[in-house]
Amino acid sequence: MDQEIPLQPHEIIFLKGKSGIVGVAKFAHQGHIFMGTPDNEEIVLFMEPEDIIAVSALNSTSKSKEGIKSLIFLLREIGTPLVVLPSDHPTSRRLPLVASCGEKVRLDCNITPGTHPEQDILCACDDLSGVEISAIKGGLEIKGPLKEFNIEKFPGEIS
């Protein structure tokens, strides 16, 4: 089912699955995010205000939403870089949160968390797998099997 959902720069949407949750917010200003790759390269992701930051919590604990909000704040307001691990790195099994930034993000449960420099794919729980989130003016377009979501005020500054 395709749906357009209004989303303001001061809001965050939480897409809920049985075993995980994904939070999505607008980048909310023009800027960039640095990304370190397994090849010892640094890539600059140029971001527009309508672009999105999506953060996936690979579990569903009481602290998952706070972690998502914190990581979005670090990426959007502080300028924390994204780090991509090599595909066989043992730490990828321990990542509680992973992020993706850009115009569009596809959620997929069949990838290794934290190992994909392509910013259009993000590891997520099984029941959110297949959902595609695209930035549109003033909101998001969501395609796929989304059952439950809610929108909250984002507790960060807007540049």
Question: pLDDT tens digits, residue range 17-49?
Answer: 888 999 999 999 999 999 999 999 999 999 999
Q: What percent of the chain has pLDDT over 90?
A: 70
Has residue 28 been placed in a domain?
yes
Give me the pLDDT at residue 32, please: 96
pLDDT along the chain (159 residues), means of 10: 89 91 96 94 96 92 92 95 92 92 95 89 92 96 83 68
Structural domain contains residue 120:
yes
Question: Is 72 contained in some domain?
Answer: yes
**Which pLDDT belongs to residue 158?**
55
Would you state the structure tokens that stand for residue 123, as one six-digit string? 């590891």
Q: What is the pLDDT of residue 93?
A: 85
Mean residue pLDDT across the chain: 91
Q: Which residue range forms the structural domain that includes residue 104? A: 3-152
For residue 23, tell me if it sits in a domain.
Answer: yes
Domain-located, residue 80:
yes
- Asked if the structure places residue 157 within a domain, the reply is no
Is 159 inside any structural domain? no
